[in-house]
């Protein structure tokens, strides 16, 4: 089965591609590096020729509401129009657990994406997943103040990006499922605790300072608004297992 993977070289998209290949399917990587710009639509029609499904794993690194809404609106609208023209029968979108109850700019963009998909002309599936194991490191990269690290107060249940990719691949080759069961990791933690584990594992002496984000969004993040609810599907790889594997990979790459 031919499946186009938008963002197919990214954090989750590359795992979707790997899972499809392992199952004997024909993934098409849709990225700018492969000559396709989903924002402008350049090359998109040709990339979708023969595709029976599309997985949208595109992303933008921003917390700004306007930028996030513009990005997800433009990408989703371009994809749905191109898919309908190409006769694609299944659109699969990756979203985030908890976005209905947390008023944050990036989540507003994801809510807009879901609205367009669910009201669009192409049969669809939407998978909401929790944050990935890489998330704490990404947050802390811009939150270091010398020997201090500022960690937003956040309860989370991180999941392996590879497991998210595998579920997206399974959805893509099956019939449209509508809203699929949420996907989370096997264990709940605070972001501050995960940050401390990261620094300890890397031999870094950094003091982690938890800080609650302002407003209702900050309260929701701190009190479990991002955790998967009853009926969610849970992944297997724990954060500690991911961290050990990541450190081993880094050490292997430096020798």
Strand, coil or helix: 2: strand
Question: Over 80: is that where the pLDDT of 255 sits?
Answer: no
The pLDDT of residue 145: 78
Question: Over 70: is that where the pLDDT of 19 sits?
Answer: yes
Provide the percentage of residues in the chain whose pLDDT is more than 70: 99
141-178 per-position pLDDT tens digit: 877 778 899 999 999 999 999 999 999 999 999 999 99
The pLDDT of residue 254: 53
Provide the percentage of residues in the chain whose pLDDT is more than 90: 86
Distances (CA, A) of 105 to 13, 208, 233: 23, 25, 26
The pLDDT of residue 17: 98
Question: Over 80: is that where the pLDDT of 253 sits?
Answer: no
49-69 per-position pLDDT tens digit: 999 999 999 999 888 899 999
Note every long-range contact of 21-24, with CB atoms under 8 Å and residues 24 or more positions apart, other chains counting: 23/169, 23/173
* Spatial separation of the C-alpha atoms in residues 143 and 145, rounded to whole Å: 7
Distances (CA, A) of 230 to 80, 93, 114, 141, 187: 31, 21, 21, 33, 14
The pLDDT of residue 55: 98
97-141 per-position pLDDT tens digit: 999 989 889 999 999 999 999 999 999 999 999 999 999 988 888
* Spatial separation of the C-alpha atoms in residues 174 and 87, rounded to whole Å: 16
Residue 119's nearest CA partner among 89, 174, 77 is 77
Are the C-beta atoms of 126 and 171 separated by less than 8 Å? no
The mean pLDDT value of the chain amounts to 94
């Amino acid at each position: 089965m031919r499946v186009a993977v938008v963002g197919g070289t990214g954090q989750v998209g590359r795992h979707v591609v790997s899972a499809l290949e392992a199952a004997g399917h024909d993934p098409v990587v849709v990225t700018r590096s492969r000559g396709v710009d989903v924002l402008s639509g350049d090359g998109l029609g040709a990339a979708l020729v023969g595709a029976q499904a599309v997985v949208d794993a595109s992303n933008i690194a921003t917390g700004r509401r306007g930028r996030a809404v513009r990005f997800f609106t433009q990408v989703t609208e371009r994809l749905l129009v191109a898919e309908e023209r190409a006769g694609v029968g299944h659109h699969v979108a990756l979203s985030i657990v908890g976005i209905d109850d947390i008023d944050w700019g990036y989540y507003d963009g994801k809510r807009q994406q879901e609205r367009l998909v669910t009201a669009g002309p192409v049969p669809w599936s939407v998978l909401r997943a929790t944050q990935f194991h890489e998330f704490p490191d990404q947050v802390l990269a811009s939150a270091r103040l010398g020997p201090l690290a500022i960690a937003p107060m956040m309860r989370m249940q991180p999941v392996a990006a590879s497991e998210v990719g595998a579920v997206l691949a399974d959805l893509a080759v099956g019939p449209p499922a509508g809203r699929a069961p949420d996907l989370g990791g096997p264990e709940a933690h605070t972001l501050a605790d995960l940050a401390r584990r990261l620094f300890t594992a890397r031999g870094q002496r950094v003091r982690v300072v938890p800080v609650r984000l302002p407003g209702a969004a900050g309260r929701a993040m701190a009190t479990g608004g991002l955790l998967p609810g009853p009926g969610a599907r849970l992944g297997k790889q724990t954060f500690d297992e991911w961290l050990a594997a990541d450190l081993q990979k880094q050490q292997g790459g430096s020798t």
